[in-house]
Structure 1
Amino acid sequence: MNYTLHQLQIFLKVAEVKSITKASEELNLTQPAVSIQIKNLQNQFDIPLTEVIGKQLYVTDFGLEIVEIAKNILNEVQKINYLTMSFKGILSGKLNLSVVSTGKYVIPYFLSDFLKINPGIDLNMDVTNKLKVIKSLEKNEVDFALVSVLPKKITLNSEILLDNKLYLIGNKEVIIPNKPYGKSIFNTIPLIYREEGSATRLIMEQFFERNEIKAPMKMQLTSNEAVKQAVIAGLGYSIMPLIGSNNELKNKELQIIPVFGFPITSDWRLVWLKNKSLSPVAQAYLDYIKKEKEVIVQNHFSWIYTL
């Protein structure tokens, strides 16, 4: 057997995306280079690792077994690298984060300088929906999660990073009144909702419930980006986090519709399991956040507090 770590890395990516073309794009390699490495790896075995049915690539049962072994091999190699850096006094290891979708506008600013200071740390960050974020916390798969609504059934520690302000948003053609609308406006406008389980939708529905507002749903969309495009196109209005709409507001594609009782507010929080033993990398990140968060907010998010 003469397979290499490089071949195993490429095979893992091909198995993940189920495509030579996509794997080459994500690995920044040419398609022929990926194909050659997969062929060289396959030549080590008498049993197929992959098969093509129609135009779709599939990993065989044998290939899936090799995938798991390859993961273990590469993880052990990574541990050697971390150990080497540790003996040199360099903080090293993995930092695992799970972030709700709108949090992608927040978390990079709370990571950038930390990762520059600590080049030995590898970041593994999953940007996904709220339900998957909660599952990753429940299964103890991540060091931290970023949420705007605390889950009720998990005991967590948390560190507040930033205010989360939500406004009623319309497109550039909406005529803004001289004084804010009353809450009865929600009975008369076509309102675009996020999908069930979304933190944005939960905050919105809690506001409606507290104020005994009936707000008919015009349509339901599964991401903030989709909602923004629908509002820009004039399909309706939506209650949206300011953090994800700043560029469109600056470009005057969207505008805030003034309503009494707005903005609705919550907090962007870094959360972790109550009794979790933090790794040295995770503890270092938490210490960094506690020390630097006010400076980060001032440098990158002060505009939130001027509206």
Structure 2
Amino acid sequence: MALTQSAVSQQIRQLEEQVEQPLFEYVGRKLYLTEAANSLLAASEDIFARLESLDMSLSTLQGNLQGELRLAVVSSIQYLTPHLLAAFREHYPGVSFRLEIATRGQVIQRLRDNLDDVVLMGLVPEDRALEFFPFLNNPIIAVANTDHPLARRSDLSLAEIEGVMVLQREPGSGTRKASDDFLQEKRVHLQQSMQLGSSESLIQGAIAGLGIALVSGHAASAFIRSGALVRLDFTELPLYRSWCAVHARGKRLSPVAQAFLAFLRSERAQIRGLAEQFNA
């Protein structure tokens, strides 16, 4: 910022004189915010968010919605999301995006910290004050490389999954939770399993021949089309869950965020058409 350390220190002192309370405290060599500083920070962020929302509202009144959409998504839907954003931007070319890809646990933490306008995820936690609505089916399928013994067979019984190595996401993942609940409901018990930490690692593990993977069809479709993976023909799959748009209950949504949610609600046919290219 082209400021010397002493200039910054003087500005901090002036700010503390304005609020008549200390804003920082040192413990050892580390700097911490005081309770007054946290209150000031929250108020400042709220002010800037309101100004940003005002800019968006004024641009909307002029018939030209502008602003940034802050979006976080779980990794399983990261391949589809840019296509959703491109379709939304056709309606509102003045909008820009900031997209974060995260695990389900990280997305839940981001919701708690109010870091994003909207979150796209599968399994919405029930113990939090959240507003959400489903906007698209999420098919969970089984995939393997072309040399896997099950790849050459059809009409597979789900019980046959018990005798092979199954690659799974980490506990807490929406795909893992949906798969575990489904297998338990079908009374299928995995004898061999291996835990990998992302949809991408599951897909690459299946390509490498580590085992079969239970993944979102949207994440695996490009690899199936290229021939790197085969969708296994289990008669009881795919397992269908829903992708949901989520935000904190009572959150003041910006005009851009409101427009994006309205797009997800009203353009279901267009969104299903975009998803078709990801249906393996």
The TM-score with structure 2 as length reference comes to: 0.75
| Corresponding position of 1:137 | 111
Identity %: 24
| Corresponding position of 1:149 | 123
| Corresponding position of 1:244 | 219
Residue 129 (structure 1) shift = 0.6
- Secondary structure in 2 matching 1:253: coil
| Corresponding position of 1:234 | 209
C-alpha distance 134-184 of structure 1, shift in aligned 2 (>3 A): same
Question: Are 1:98 and 1:127, in contact at CA under 8 Å, matched by a contact in 2?
Answer: yes
Instruction: Output aligned runs, 1:33-182, within 5 Å.
Output: 41=2, 44-45=4-5, 79=51, 83=55, 86=58, 89=62, 90-175=64-149, 176-182=151-157
Question: Are 2:145 and 2:208, in contact at CA under 8 Å, matched by a contact in 1?
Answer: yes
| Corresponding position of 1:291 | 266
Deviations 1:188-225 (A, max 9, x none): 10111111211111111111111122113432111111
- Secondary structure in 2 matching 1:83: helix
C-alpha distance in 2 between matches for 1:241 and 1:251:
17
Residue 101 (structure 1) shift = 1.0
Deviations 1:249-287 (A, max 9, x none): 011111011123111110111122333332222212222
Residue 61 (structure 1) shift = 6.4
Decide which moves more: 119-128 or 99-108.
119-128
Question: Are 2:148 and 2:209, in contact at CA under 8 Å, matched by a contact in 1?
Answer: no
Question: Are 1:110 and 1:293, in contact at CA under 8 Å, matched by a contact in 2?
Answer: no
C-alpha distance in 2 between matches for 1:165 and 1:80:
37
- Secondary structure in 2 matching 1:262: coil
Residue 245 (structure 1) shift = 0.8
Runs of 4+ aligned residues of structure 1 deviating over 6 Å after TM superposition are none
C-alpha distance in 2 between matches for 1:286 and 1:108:
15
Residue 294 (structure 1) shift = 1.4
Residue 79 (structure 1) shift = 4.9
| 1:204 is the counterpart of 2:179 | yes
Letter in 2 for 1:232: I
Instruction: Tell which has more relative contact order, 1 or 2 (C-alpha 8 A, sep 6+).
Output: 2
Question: Are 1:82 and 1:92, in contact at CA under 8 Å, matched by a contact in 2?
Answer: no
C-alpha distance in 1 between matches for 2:211 and 2:224:
16
Counting matched residue pairs gives 248
Residue 160 (structure 1) shift = 2.4
C-alpha distance in 2 between matches for 1:272 and 1:92:
21
Instruction: Output aligned runs, 1:244-263, within 5 Å.
Output: 244-263=219-238
Letter in 1 for 2:210: L
| 1:273 is the counterpart of 2:273 | no
5+ residue gaps in structure 2? Answer: 10-28, 34-40
- Secondary structure in 2 matching 1:105: coil
| 1:195 is the counterpart of 2:170 | yes
C-alpha distance 284-84 of structure 1, shift in aligned 2 (>3 A): closer
